[in-house]
Chain A
Amino acid sequence: MAEESAAAVLVARGLTKIYRMGEVDVVALRGIDLELYEGELVVLLGASGSGKSTLLNILGGLDGPTAGEVRWREHDLSIADDAALTSYRREHVGFVFQFYNLIPSLTARENVALVTEIADAPMEPSEALDLVGLGARMDHFPSQLSGGEQQRVAIARAVAKRPDLLLCDEPTGALDFATGRLVLDVIAQVNRELGTTTVLITHNAPIARMADRVVTMSDGLIKSDERNAAKVAPEALSW
């Protein structure tokens, strides 16, 4: 990693996170060090409960660490207040969630417009939906779309503002194999064509083959961090 030619845009040092769930304390992260470089596609691999979603939430400014430090370029996110984190998400980050998290009362186009409304130099919602192949279904409500289609709307919503960082949390987790591969293809395409730094969380090891770099997590710790020499296109994946 030392020989990376691109600059590290996001740096995490010694991240620790402890949750209180009901009446139980849960330690989700136990001291994580990580850098993300401009334009790369990183797959964060780990079993359920390994802490990868928690890490993603902290990297995306949805949550703060209990201890440790995160820096986005020159900004220290770990000491940022709520308003600063909101601006960070608003200006730099696009999210894709496992369960899509579309607003059920808004159509596909309106769900994307929700983000383009508040972004600085966004795409047209229709352009973003064209990008994910849903130009024809723009006026459908989430309930009228299949799971894969909903996830592609979610991706369109995430990329429409041209984010610097695209964070995808188990984007294929709720999808069947063929649909999942289509969604991954869209993510890879965004990464390639827009040059968006992308982090993709999955518990599904074969998906890691599409990454530039694979980070493996277990029990709140990073177990391995390897460059993927044999990157393949999502169409070539199978699981």
Chain B
Amino acid sequence: MVTPLGRKLLRDLASMRGQVVTIALVVACGIASYVALRCAYVSLETARDRHYGAQRFGDVFARLSRAPNSVRAKLEAIPGVAVVETRVVADGLMPLDDLPEPAVGEVVGLPSHGEPRLNALALRRGRLFEPGRADEAVVSEAFALAHGLEPGVATLPIVLEGVMHRVRVVGIALSPEYVFAMPAGSVFADDKHFGVLWMDGAAIAPALKVDGAFDDVVLSLQRDVPGAAGAEGAGRVSRESVLEAVDEVLRPYGGRPAYARDLQPSHQLLSSEFAQLGQMTTVIPAAFLGVAAFLLNVVLGRVVQLQRGQIATLKAVGYRDREIALHYLQMVTLIVFFGAALGLALGALLGKGMLGLYAQYYRFPALTLQLPARLLATAVLASFGAGVLGALATVRHIARLPPAEAMRPEAPAIYRRSWLERIGFARLLGPAWWMVARELIRRPLRTSLSVFGIAMSVAVIVGARFTYDAMDALLDVGLLAGQREDVTVAFRHVVDDRARNELAHLPGVLAVEPERVVPARLRHGPRSRALALTGRVDGASLHRVVEWPERVVTIPREGIVITKTLADRLGVQPGDELEVEVLEGARPIRRLRVAATSRELLGLGAFVSLGTLRAMLDEQEGLNGAALLVDPRELERLDARLRELPGVASVSRKDAWVELFRKQSTDQMSTTTMILVIFGATIAIGVVYNDARIAVSMRSRDLATLRVLGFTTGEVAGIVYGELATCVLLGLAPGLQLGSWLMQQVFSGASIEETFRMPTTASPLTFAFAVGIVVFAAAFSALLVRDRLDRLDLVEVLKARE
């Protein structure tokens, strides 16, 4: 049976439904964003960990030229190594009927029985290849889907070592190595142009000319090997010591630096994405719950003020303070409950949607939405916590309200001349503005909370739109400003300078800029990092180092330029010396002075002049890549010619990757952005609508008096709107700041900075967009109360106050 107080509660809520709904929506946004982000995060992590576990993803990876199979035993003997899997991996071009340019196929050799001890396959459809068959392949799922390949039906042409082969697609599979599948050297998933073909390694070795040898290593570490860098003690086994030992073993065989899982391309990208998601799960929901707490505080405060008489009556008839306090606390709890229920449902829905987006790029055998009960409970508890926090002051006020005092009308509110008036500012404005200013100044806490709420709303929208700015900046400054070529060519081996002339004479080529890229390890004290060291010609104008905000960093003849992120990792500053070890050929070691660091938006990089690099390598000439400026009319023809050249490993067209970048970032951002914009607008509506309702109900007497004195409804509305507009205006600027700051929190963190850095400022367009949305939402909510202002009951309001 519902008690009389229970009935009062329900009817009070029904009568203030506009406010109940707007606040519940803010709570719902907070919970929904938390549940969606957090559940997506947990689900992705679970899917990843299960995939890694079930398919035995390796811990350490290394490429080399080729080594006889007997070397495997040496790798197995390295202390700390658990399992070693050696294999052949080779790229081949696949001229496909449904593509104008050939796709890249990465052939990965597996044991004949198809079950490697590391990096195993999760077979999705079809079957594994028959042992000994060199013409059967299991194909990566994303590529198969992009081309509609049916196992058992489809065949693929692939050029390996200059010979065209036809392989039959017998199965479709996933691998932990290719959760995010991208060609070597790229950061874009390109399912149409890149596929993995798992084949019987022994059967295809002759075709790849690596019979009895391997050129790729995956190994796992024993469980007790500490993974942390720098954990290395004298004689102790660590991940770092294993890496060094692997390098040592593979050095005679053209080994490239071994790297641990955190630098494995697919895993690194996942980690960066997960880290962003993880940080968003705390930043964004906290903003909403903060606003919800403030709204509940303000609204409950007003309800209590309006119900002073009722509270007094309840006390007079013998209700205890805590019974009455509980009654009002229940009001808050119910509002939060509505919000929480809606938020949980919405959050689950959004979480599912987010996973759908992720599933387009990240291929897991099983990516299902996890809704851990503990996580949901945390969300609900956090929102109740915020609600109770918001209500606490008011509830304490209720308990302290002496019944006899509550029975009397409130003493006139104390207004004072504000400092604005004292300095004479107010004389410039009319009395209506004095009312506005005094009201705002008299309640500094409420005013600042309203301003804070608006700021949060602006911040969330700036944050949402900021991602576009970041992507634009990444593209414009991080990529386009530094890469002004039309086509980049990579050669399979180092070629001499004649290649430069040959390229220059190809049809449509307007300029050629040769490059020499070598694997290298940079050391500074105990810290080191292996990466690609790029040598560029003096005065290079196609490939340049460009930092943010846009500025070209010149590569000097002497010394080395490294990205700021790398400099921070190594703990060096311009002027310091670095030890640079080239990890191929004679492995020369030189000391180079850091000439400059560049705040590049993308990744880690190190650059020297071609002269410096050649001096280090003791080469007179030699290049393994080139940037080409091409007459656009000849682009297609040139592309085809380049791909036919035997020495060319890859051809990368700028127009293609720019399109991929745009598509990839738009796919991932548009939905999230739209949802966050809606959520941000919900906060603005929640704040302004509740402020407006409170202004009208608490001051209806004053406003009605003004009407009696001859003010028009428009003038009276102007006073209320003046207050609201002032709060909104005051909240805009801090909101813009807060938004930029929030996003920097989301995008900060080591694993993210390895792949890209966020530019530090949002664009004017984003600011204008956020301001526009918030002002519109505010105007809309203010208009919702206009009706109440026009209907002020002049006679009733001026009668004795109950």
Binding site for B on A (CB under 8 A): 21-23, 54, 57, 60, 62-63, 82-83, 86-87, 89-91, 93-95, 97, 99, 101-106, 110-111, 113-115, 117-119, 157-158, 161, 174
Per-residue CB proximity of B1-24 to A under 8 Å, as 1/0? 001110110011001000000000
Q: Distance in Å from the Cβ of A85 to the closest Cβ of chain B?
A: 8
Per-residue CB proximity of B643-662 to A under 8 Å, as 1/0? 00000000000000000000
Pair B411/A22 contact, Cβ less than 8 Å: yes
Q: Distance in Å from the Cβ of A63 to the closest Cβ of chain B?
A: 3
Of all chain A residues, the one with the shortest Cβ separation from B411 is A22
Q: Decide if B381 is an interface residue (CB 8 Å cutoff).
A: no
A60-B316 contact, Cβ under 8 Å, with A86-B321, A101-B309, A101-B802: yes
Q: In the bound complex, what is the Cα–Cα distance between A113 and B7 (angstroms)?
A: 11
Residues of B within 8 A of A103 (CB): 4, 8, 310, 313-314
Pair B317/A99 contact, Cβ less than 8 Å: no
Pair B403/A62 contact, Cβ less than 8 Å: yes
Pair A63/B402 contact, Cβ less than 8 Å: yes
Pair B4/A63 contact, Cβ less than 8 Å: no
Q: Distance in Å from the Cβ of B281 to the closest Cβ of chain A?
A: 40
Q: Decide if B414 is an interface residue (CB 8 Å cutoff).
A: yes
In the assembled complex, 14 residue pairs joining A and B whose CB atoms fall closer than 8 Å, in A order, are A57-B407, A60-B316, A86-B318, A89-B316, A95-B316, A95-B317, A101-B312, A101-B313, A103-B310, A110-B7, A118-B317, A118-B319, A161-B318, A174-B800
Pair B309/A105 contact, Cβ less than 8 Å: no
Q: Decide if B405 is an interface residue (CB 8 Å cutoff).
A: yes
Q: In the bound complex, what is the Cα–Cα distance between A102 and B310 (angstroms)?
A: 7
Q: Distance in Å from the Cβ of A210 to the closest Cβ of chain B?
A: 24
Residues of B within 8 A of A57 (CB): 403-404, 407
Pair A101/B318 contact, Cβ less than 8 Å: no
Which of A23, A86, A113, A158 has the largest number of chain B CB atoms within 10 A? A86
Query: Contact partner of B321 among A82, A101, A113, A174, CB < 8 A?
Result: A82
Pair A23/B318 contact, Cβ less than 8 Å: no
Pair B404/A89 contact, Cβ less than 8 Å: no
Pair B8/A105 contact, Cβ less than 8 Å: yes
Query: Contact partner of A86 among B15, B309, B320, CB < 8 A?
Result: B320
Of all chain A residues, the one with the shortest Cβ separation from B406 is A62
A114-B320 contact, Cβ under 8 Å, with A22-B411, A105-B15: no
A62-B318 contact, Cβ under 8 Å, with A21-B411, A22-B412, A117-B3: no
Q: Decide if B251 is an interface residue (CB 8 Å cutoff).
A: no
Q: In the bound complex, what is the Cα–Cα distance between A109 and B756 (angstroms)?
A: 69
Of all chain B residues, the one with the shortest Cβ separation from A116 is B4
Q: Decide if B315 is an interface residue (CB 8 Å cutoff).
A: yes
Query: Contact partner of B315 among A23, A62, A117, A157, CB < 8 A?
Result: A62
Q: In the bound complex, what is the Cα–Cα distance between A37 and B348 (angstroms)?
A: 68
Q: In the bound complex, what is the Cα–Cα distance between A62 and B318 (angstroms)?
A: 10
Which of B15, B318, B321 has the largest number of chain A CB atoms within 10 A? B318
Pair A83/B318 contact, Cβ less than 8 Å: no
Q: In the bound complex, what is the Cα–Cα distance between A174 and B801 (angstroms)?
A: 12
Of all chain A residues, the one with the shortest Cβ separation from B319 is A118
Q: Distance in Å from the Cβ of B310 to the closest Cβ of chain A?
A: 5
Give the A-B contact count at a CB cut-off of 8 A.
96
Q: Distance in Å from the Cβ of B348 to the closest Cβ of chain A?
A: 35
A23-B407 contact, Cβ under 8 Å, with A101-B313, A101-B802, A106-B8: no
Residues of A within 8 A of B12 (CB): 105
Residues of A within 8 A of B310 (CB): 101, 103-104
Q: Distance in Å from the Cβ of B148 to the closest Cβ of chain A?
A: 65
Of all chain B residues, the one with the shortest Cβ separation from A85 is B403
Of all chain A residues, the one with the shortest Cβ separation from B802 is A99
Q: In the bound complex, what is the Cα–Cα distance between A99 and B444 (angstroms)?
A: 34
Q: In the bound complex, what is the Cα–Cα distance between A158 and B405 (angstroms)?
A: 20
Q: Distance in Å from the Cβ of B595 to the closest Cβ of chain A?
A: 72
Say whether chain B's binding surface is mostly helix, strand, loop, or mixed: helix
Query: Contact partner of A90 among B313, B318, B404, B414, CB < 8 A?
Result: B318
Q: In the bound complex, what is the Cα–Cα distance between A94 and B317 (angstroms)?
A: 7
Q: In the bound complex, what is the Cα–Cα distance between A102 and B12 (angstroms)?
A: 14
Q: In the bound complex, what is the Cα–Cα distance between A60 and B402 (angstroms)?
A: 13
Residues of B within 8 A of A91 (CB): 318
Q: Which chain B residues (109-159) contact chain A, with CB distance < 8 Å?
A: none
Pair B11/A105 contact, Cβ less than 8 Å: yes
Residues of A within 8 A of B411 (CB): 21-22
Query: Contact partner of A115 among B11, B15, B318, CB < 8 A?
Result: B318
Residues of B within 8 A of A23 (CB): 414
Q: In the bound complex, what is the Cα–Cα distance between A239 and B368 (angstroms)?
A: 82
Q: In the bound complex, what is the Cα–Cα distance between A26 and B487 (angstroms)?
A: 90
Residues of A within 8 A of B312 (CB): 62, 101
A63-B404 contact, Cβ under 8 Å, with A103-B8, A111-B4, A117-B4: yes
Q: Distance in Å from the Cβ of B3 to the closest Cβ of chain A?
A: 6
Residues of A within 8 A of B319 (CB): 86, 90, 118
Residues of B within 8 A of A104 (CB): 310
Q: In the bound complex, what is the Cα–Cα distance between A89 and B7 (angstroms)?
A: 23
Pair B317/A89 contact, Cβ less than 8 Å: yes
Q: In the bound complex, what is the Cα–Cα distance between A87 and B412 (angstroms)?
A: 32
Q: In the bound complex, what is the Cα–Cα distance between A106 and B316 (angstroms)?
A: 17
Of all chain B residues, the one with the shortest Cβ separation from A169 is B407
Q: In the bound complex, what is the Cα–Cα distance between A63 and B316 (angstroms)?
A: 10
Q: Distance in Å from the Cβ of A172 to the closest Cβ of chain B?
A: 15
A-B complex: 5 closest residue pairs judged by Cβ atoms: A90-B318, A63-B404, A105-B11, A62-B404, A57-B404
Q: Which chain B residues (579-602) contact chain A, with CB distance < 8 Å?
A: none
Q: In the bound complex, what is the Cα–Cα distance between A53 and B267 (angstroms)?
A: 78
Q: Distance in Å from the Cβ of A19 to the closest Cβ of chain B?
A: 8
A114-B404 contact, Cβ under 8 Å, with A22-B411, A22-B412, A89-B318: no
Residues of B within 8 A of A118 (CB): 317-319, 323
Q: In the bound complex, what is the Cα–Cα distance between A111 and B11 (angstroms)?
A: 13
Q: In the bound complex, what is the Cα–Cα distance between A91 and B319 (angstroms)?
A: 11
Which of B12, B312, B315, B800 has the largest number of chain A CB atoms within 10 A? B315
Pair B317/A114 contact, Cβ less than 8 Å: yes
Of all chain B residues, the one with the shortest Cβ separation from A58 is B404
Q: Distance in Å from the Cβ of A109 to the closest Cβ of chain B?
A: 9
Residues of B within 8 A of A21 (CB): 411
Residues of B within 8 A of A105 (CB): 7-8, 11-12, 15
Q: Distance in Å from the Cβ of B669 to the closest Cβ of chain A?
A: 47
Q: In the bound complex, what is the Cα–Cα distance between A99 and B313 (angstroms)?
A: 11
Pair B403/A114 contact, Cβ less than 8 Å: no
Residues of B within 8 A of A110 (CB): 4, 7-8
Pair A115/B317 contact, Cβ less than 8 Å: yes
Pair A83/B320 contact, Cβ less than 8 Å: yes
Which of A62, A97, A174 has the largest number of chain B CB atoms within 10 A? A62
Residues of A within 8 A of B316 (CB): 60, 62, 89, 95, 97, 101
Which of A23, A114, A117 has the largest number of chain B CB atoms within 10 A? A114
Q: In the bound complex, what is the Cα–Cα distance between A118 and B15 (angstroms)?
A: 26
Q: Distance in Å from the Cβ of B417 to the closest Cβ of chain A?
A: 15
Residues of A within 8 A of B800 (CB): 99, 174
Of all chain B residues, the one with the shortest Cβ separation from A115 is B317
Of all chain A residues, the one with the shortest Cβ separation from B320 is A86
Q: In the bound complex, what is the Cα–Cα distance between A153 and B485 (angstroms)?
A: 89
Known: A93-B318, A101-B312, A113-B4. 7 other contacts (CB 8 A): A89-B315, A101-B802, A105-B7, A106-B11, A110-B4, A118-B318, A118-B319
Query: Contact partner of A114 among B309, B314, B414, B802, CB < 8 A?
Result: B314
Pair B405/A114 contact, Cβ less than 8 Å: no
Per-residue CB proximity of B367-408 to A under 8 Å, as 1/0? 000000000000000000000000000000000001111010
Query: Contact partner of B7 among A54, A97, A106, CB < 8 A?
Result: A106
Q: Which chain B residues (303-334) contact chain A, with CB distance < 8 Å?
A: 309-310, 312-321, 323
Pair B4/A106 contact, Cβ less than 8 Å: yes
Query: Contact partner of B403 among A63, A106, A158, A161, CB < 8 A?
Result: A63
Q: Distance in Å from the Cβ of A62 to the closest Cβ of chain B?
A: 4
Of all chain A residues, the one with the shortest Cβ separation from B10 is A105
Residues of B within 8 A of A22 (CB): 411-412, 414
Q: In the bound complex, what is the Cα–Cα distance between A54 and B321 (angstroms)?
A: 21
Q: Distance in Å from the Cβ of A146 to the closest Cβ of chain B?
A: 16
